[in-house]
Amino acid sequence: MQLSLSKSFVFLSFLFTLSQCVYYAPNAHNVPLLRNKGDLRIMGGLQGGSVFEDNEGVDVQAAYAITDSIGAMINGNYSWGSNSYDEADGYFFEGGVGYFKPLSKRWSFEGFGGFGHGTEQHTYNAGDANIRFTRFFLQPAIGFNSKYFEVALSFRLCHLYFYHYDPSNFAALDPEVQSDLNYLDDHRASFLFEQALTLRAGLPNVKLQLQIGGSRNINNPDLEQAEGYALLGVFVDLDEAFKKKPQ
User: How large is the average pLDDT for residues 9-14?
Assistant: 36
CB 28 within 8 A of CB 213: yes
Q: pLDDT tens digit string along 213-239? A: 999 999 999 998 888 899 999 999 997
Pairing of strands 107-124, 56-65: unpaired
Q: pLDDT tens digit string along 117-160? A: 999 999 998 889 999 999 999 999 999 999 999 999 999 999 99
Q: For residues 160 and 217, what is the distance between their CA atoms, to the nearest angstrom?
A: 10
Res 4: pLDDT: 44
165 — pLDDT class (breaks 50, 70, 90):
confident
Res 185: pLDDT: 94
Res 227: pLDDT: 87
Q: pLDDT tens digit string along 48-62? A: 864 444 567 899 999
Is the predicted pLDDT of residue 43 greater than 50, yes or no?
A: yes
Res 86: pLDDT: 82
pTM, to two decimals? 0.86
- Of 114 and 240, more confident: 114
Report the 10 Å Cβ neighbour count for 215. 24
Q: For residues 214 and 22, what is the distance between their CA atoms, to the nearest angstrom?
A: 15
Burial of 121 (0-12, 13-18, 19+ CB in 10 A): middle
Q: For residues 50 and 82, what is the distance between their CA atoms, to the nearest angstrom?
A: 11
Res 242: pLDDT: 57
By mean pLDDT, which of 134-138, 197-201, 204-208, 236-240 is the weakest?
236-240
For the chain, the average pLDDT equals 87
Res 240: pLDDT: 60
